[in-house]
Structure 1
Amino acid sequence: MNTTHDTMHKNTTTAQLLTGTPLAGRVAVVTGASSGIGEATAFRFAQLGASVALLARRGDRLDDLEDRIRDIGGTALAVPTDVADRSAVLAAAERVERELGQVDLVFANAGVQLIAGITDLAVDDWDTQLSTNVGGVMNTVQAFVRPLVAAAEAGRPADLVTTSSIAAVRILEGFQVYSATKAYVAQLSRLLRTELGRKKVRVATIEPGMVDTELPDHVTDPAATRLMADLIAQIDVLRSADVAETVAFLAAVPRHVNLTEITILPTEQII
């Protein structure tokens, strides 16, 4: 479950645990890079030395992030892409390999959260979540799984990291479709590891709790909006940078180490 708020985190700072450039020489792809966890993770990858391809629908936001990465001496490539569009993702993969090189780190993070009661029959929202949260991940796997295997065969680290959610395993009213899509992502990642692990490709999924992102800006159900607002008023939620540091750590550990599933919650979150 992700959420957002405008108040300051008085007691929260993001410790950057990694130092130096442990991702130097790596070529990373981040989907959903225009905001939130994706944006923060792409920037952190670049800080740690990776060349980063930025995929999302909002090209203007990607251009801004590309500029910020270049300002710190990093390498980034903005590739406006709707991950729900298979042909667009495949075209993006070709461009990334042509301009940055062979991909060896993929963060399949793009997703939407649209919460409503099931009897509201918000079928357009169902379709959007299925095409992005499920279809988008599958399109990303299709586009990059072979380069990841090739990188591993060449003796390089190779990582596929997905974004699930604590909502995948919690019972939350109104989250039926969103939670189901995130449960799909979590189980998919476990199953991909059974095949890709033997090929020395690490597969991991992160399951964030309440994070300060813009995902809930898409929520139209007033009751769900109030629920999230009430929860974040009571606790110090995560920042996107907290999750980004976790993903970067997953990618930076030695090649023979696979941190397969990490749940990251605010200390005070109990639901």
Structure 2
Amino acid sequence: MSTNTTSQSLAGRVAVVTGASSGIGAASAEKLAALGARVVVLARRADRLAELVERIEKNGGRAVAIAADVTDVEALKAVAERVEQEFGGADLLLNNAGVMLPAPIEELATDQWKQQIDLNITGLMNAIGVFTPQLVKAAAERGVADLINTSSIAAQNIFPTFAVYAGTKAYVSHLSRTLRAELGAKKVRVSVVEPGIVATELQSHVTDRGALEWLEGSKETMEWLTPEDVAETVGFIATLPPRVNLQQVTVMPTGQAS
């Protein structure tokens, strides 16, 4: 029996990436394509997706863009049907769509609460719901499939005014651990990636002054992660031998203490 643990390429695999129009999603799509996967990139901004596909193809990769809102389950069902018909189904799903809107709980920013829950939780579940049958089928046929969810260090650590966001990410992390117990026996690996501060568009959506000051101040004390740093982690997880499942990976800036 071979004990070789050398990472394998993703040639022949079909990867679906949500939240692919920028940041970690876009960088991960490029990384997975560079590793040989055919990548289906999903997000609402069709123009950004077109630019991403152009970059991937320019670098010799293969990608297809589908504009879709993950909070719309019917739209996602149509996407899953197209992926099944055109590519035989997905064997890797990276759930990366999300939003971060910190605010003191006493402000009762209920619209922002709903937005975070709808995208970070309901959107995640929609994607898992429509693509898990394809992952299970692919794993049975090929011996491995991957479900990778993007969470946050906020799922573990405490950040004032980030309560709702942190709660949604705690959901993502615990869901991932539980799904691993359910799907692992079917050869579907489930992993959750919990990054610390990453330089993405998430910060541009923040409106709370206190949170903005904290984020800006952190730039003076540490070098933030880049989306490519997290994408490298995603690529590493996906290219491990089928017997290896990294259940939870925390990726932190060297200078971030918590």
Question: TM-score category by the smaller chain?
Answer: over 0.9
Q: Which residue of 2 aligns with 1:5?
A: none
Matched, 1:123 2:82: no
Matched, 1:175 2:165: no
Q: For residues 98 and 233 of structure 1, what CA distance do their matches in structure 2 show? A: 50
- The Cα offsets for residues 75-119 of structure 1, whole Å up to 9 and x where unpaired, read as 111001111111111111111222233210000111000010001
- Specify which structure has the bigger relative contact order, considering alpha-carbon pairs within 8 angstroms and separated by 6 or more residues: 1
Q: For residues 268 and 233 of structure 1, what CA distance do their matches in structure 2 show? A: 10
Q: For residues 216 and 80 of structure 2, what CA distance do their matches in structure 1 show? A: 38
Q: For residues 207 and 129 of structure 1, what CA distance do their matches in structure 2 show? A: 17
- Any residues of structure 2 matched to 1:128-207 within 5 Å, and which? 128-207=115-194
Aligned length, in residue pairs = 253
- The Cα offsets for residues 214-261 of structure 1, whole Å up to 9 and x where unpaired, read as 101111111110100001221111110000000010000000100110
1:148/1:20 CA distance change after superposition, 3 Å: closer
Q: Which residue of 2 aligns with 1:113?
A: 100
TM-score scaled by structure 2?
Answer: 0.96
CA contact (8 A) 1:209 1:265 kept: yes
Q: Which residue of 2 aligns with 1:83?
A: 70
Matched, 1:225 2:225: no
| C-alpha displacement of 1:128 | 0.5
CA contact (8 A) 1:193 1:203 kept: yes
Q: For residues 52 and 122 of structure 1, what CA distance do their matches in structure 2 show? A: 36
- Provide structure 1 residue ranges, at least 5 long, that are not aligned to the other structure: 1-18
Q: Please state whether the residue corresponding to 2:69 is helix, strand or coil.
A: coil
CA contact (8 A) 1:54 1:78 kept: yes
TM-score scaled by structure 1?
Answer: 0.91
1:70 counterpart letter in structure 2: E
Q: Please state whether the residue corresponding to 1:132 is helix, strand or coil.
A: helix
Q: Please state whether the residue corresponding to 1:172 is helix, strand or coil.
A: coil
- Provide structure 2 residue ranges, at least 5 long, that are not aligned to the other structure: 1-5
Q: For residues 120 and 59 of structure 1, what CA distance do their matches in structure 2 show? A: 34
| C-alpha displacement of 1:21 | 7.3
Q: Which residue of 1 aligns with 2:3?
A: none
Structure 2 residue aligned with 1:40, among 11, 27, 33? 27
2:122 counterpart letter in structure 1: G
2:63 counterpart letter in structure 1: A
CA contact (8 A) 2:44 2:67 kept: yes
Q: For residues 82 and 213 of structure 2, what CA distance do their matches in structure 1 show? A: 42
Q: Which residue of 2 aligns with 1:9?
A: none
Q: Please state whether the residue corresponding to 2:66 is helix, strand or coil.
A: strand
Q: For residues 216 and 161 of structure 2, what CA distance do their matches in structure 1 show? A: 15
Q: Please state whether the residue corresponding to 1:154 is helix, strand or coil.
A: helix
- The Cα offsets for residues 152-202 of structure 1, whole Å up to 9 and x where unpaired, read as 111332000001100011111110100000000000001101110011100
| C-alpha displacement of 1:69 | 0.9
2:169 counterpart letter in structure 1: K
Q: For residues 71 and 100 of structure 1, what CA distance do their matches in structure 2 show? A: 21
1:184/1:257 CA distance change after superposition, 3 Å: same
Q: For residues 47 and 84 of structure 2, what CA distance do their matches in structure 1 show? A: 22
Structure 1 residue aligned with 2:17, among 30, 36, 48? 30
Deviates further, 193-202 or 88-97:
88-97
- Any residues of structure 2 matched to 1:9-24 within 5 Å, and which? 22-24=9-11
Q: Which residue of 2 aligns with 1:249?
A: 236
1:197 counterpart letter in structure 2: G
Q: Which residue of 1 aligns with 2:36?
A: 49
Identity of aligned residues (%): 53
